Amino acid sequence: MGFQKGALDPFPLADLVCRETNMKSKGQRVGVVVPLEVEKRKKPDAVARLQTLVDRDLDDVNDAIRASMASAVPLIPQLADYLISTGGKRLRPMLVLAAAQITGNEDRHHIYLAAAVEFVHTATLLHDDVVDGSELRRGKRAANLVFGNQATVLVGDFLVSRAFQMMVKAKSLRVLDILSNAAAVISEGEVLQLSSVNNVETTEDTYLKIIQAKTAALFAASTQIGAVISKATAAEEDALESYGRNLGIAFQLVDDALDYSGERAKLGKDVGDDFREGKVTLPVVLAFRRGDETERAFWTRTIQDRDQSPEDFDHAMELLARHDTVEATIDRARHYGKIAADALAIFPKSELRDVLQDLIEFCISRAH
């Protein structure tokens, strides 16, 4: 299975690929943007290569996902399918499959687990969209706008329960323990995020706690359970957990940077959603701290008091550029990416290990 553009395109921003010279020396990078159509013929990106390596398993995961969406209540497959079948990156399932594969998995239980984490992720997106009042998701109208908040909440609950059913099928109490803990951490993170939503004085540490919980916990659980189901050694399990967690942090940092990226508009995604919703992400955390009193008053008015006029977003973008906080956010992502890469180093060199390491840089370079 090759990397397909369109519906399955896992990182649409890869349409623009940044070739960088001197990647590791901060401040001296020169980015040249070239269309992916040209780039892809030369070398498939890390996600496409990962898809190829877990190809057969991924087909089975997609079968399990489709089977688990089935219900005698027509609204359930309609709504679930709206989000799952069309826009899914399948990044988290692929992490389960890759972690199982790199630790020599021999049975098929990881298929259910990979499908389960995708359902947990999708349920989170559905509830997020209701909570945030989102208008776009994966380039389409958000499910809450198409099906209503009521159905979106309830189908989210359904997907969580289906995920739980699939996890039980893998028959591992250890795995269930890891996933139930991750689920609790995720929802705790969502509430923490809601509690901090308009607080411009949120610290970088609190911000990190939120993204560790709401994003990195499921990445970490995905790679860890892949190891557990293969009966990997403790060292391998720890390495994969660390890889997943740090990749997840880097991924979310870049995602939050992208919300202030001009490129994003080309992808049919909402730009400036976080700003309009008063979500305090790292670009704003840093701009508030680095700014002067006038600038802080601007952030307080627009984010804390939610008193925004249409031209405020452009001014926000200027302030972020003035203090280089989008770039600083991506630099922070690089830090966690390096930890993820080193965590994997205990595994013998293999194509899969290489791809997992390249995946880190691929996630980060989405921002360029």
**In the complex with a copy of itself, which residue's Cβ is closer, 98 or 130?**
130
**CB nearer to a copy of itself: pick between 188 and 263:** 188
Selected from 22, 180, 233, 350, the binder of a copy of itself by CB under 8 A is 180
Query: Does 158 participate in binding a copy of itself (rule CB under 8 A)?
Result: yes
Q: What is the nearest approach in angstroms of a copy of itself to the Cβ of residue 123? A: 8
In whole angstroms, how far apart are CA 118 and each of 95, 218, 219, 230, 241? 11, 10, 11, 20, 17
Tokens describing residue 222: 């995905």
Alpha helices in 233-350 (DSSP H): 234-258, 273-277, 282-290, 293-299, 312-322, 325-344
Could you tell me the smallest distance in angstroms from the CB atom of residue 142 to a copy of itself? 15
- Residue closer to a copy of itself by CB (options 21, 203) is 203
Paired strand residues for 168: none
Residue 131, number of CB atoms within 10 A of its CB: 17
Near a copy of itself by CB under 8 A: residue from 155, 228, 239, 247: 155
**Min CB(121)–a copy of itself separation in Å:** 13
Q: What is the DSSP string of 108-137?
A: SHHHHHHHHHHHHHHHHHHHHHHHHT-SEE
Q: Does 153 bind a copy of itself (CB under 8 A)?
A: yes
Closest contact distance (angstroms) between CB of 225 and a copy of itself is: 13
Which of 1, 7, 32, 194 touches a copy of itself (CB under 8 A)?
Answer: 194
Compare residues 7 and 70 and give the one whose CB is closer to a copy of itself.
Answer: 70
Applying CB under 8 A, which of residues 52, 85, 101, 187 lies at the interface with a copy of itself? 187
Distance CA 310, CA 314 (A): 8
Rounded to a whole number of angstroms, the minimum distance from the CB of residue 206 to a copy of itself is 11
Nearer Cβ to a copy of itself, position 136 or 192? 192
- Distance between CA 128 and CA 137 in Å, rounded? 11
Q: How far apart are CA 122 and CA 76, in angstroms?
A: 13
Q: Give, as ranges, the residues between 74 and 113 that touch a copy of itself (CB under 8 A).
A: 74-76
DSSP letters spanning 196-235:
TTT-TT--HHHHHHHHIIIIIHHHHHHHHHHHHHTT--HH
Other beta carbons within 10 Å of 152? 23
Eight-class DSSP state of 301? I
- Residue 184 or 297: the one with the smaller Cβ distance to a copy of itself is 184
Closer Cβ to a copy of itself, 46 or 142, answer by number = 142
Burial of 232 (0-12, 13-18, 19+ CB in 10 A): buried
**Residue number with CB closer to a copy of itself (4 or 150):** 150
Count of residues that bind a copy of itself according to CB under 8 A: 40
Among 150, 203, 233, 350, contact with a copy of itself (rule: CB under 8 A):
150
* C-alpha R_g of the chain: 20
Closest CB to a copy of itself among residues 4, 165: 165
Cβ proximity to a copy of itself, 28 vs 150, nearer residue: 150
User: Smallest distance from the beta carbon of 250 to a copy of itself, in angstroms?
Assistant: 24
If binding is defined by CB under 8 A, does position 195 make contact with a copy of itself? yes
Work out which of 157, 305, 318, 354 binds a copy of itself, going by CB under 8 A.
Answer: 157
Question: Cβ contacts of residue 228 below 8 Å, gap of 6+?
Answer: 172, 174, 175, 178, 237
Q: Alpha-carbon distance 347 to 367, whole Å?
A: 29
Question: What residues make contact with a copy of itself under the rule CB under 8 A?
Answer: 71-76, 127, 130-131, 149-151, 153-155, 157-158, 160-162, 164-165, 167-168, 171, 173, 176-177, 180-181, 183-184, 186-188, 190-192, 194-195
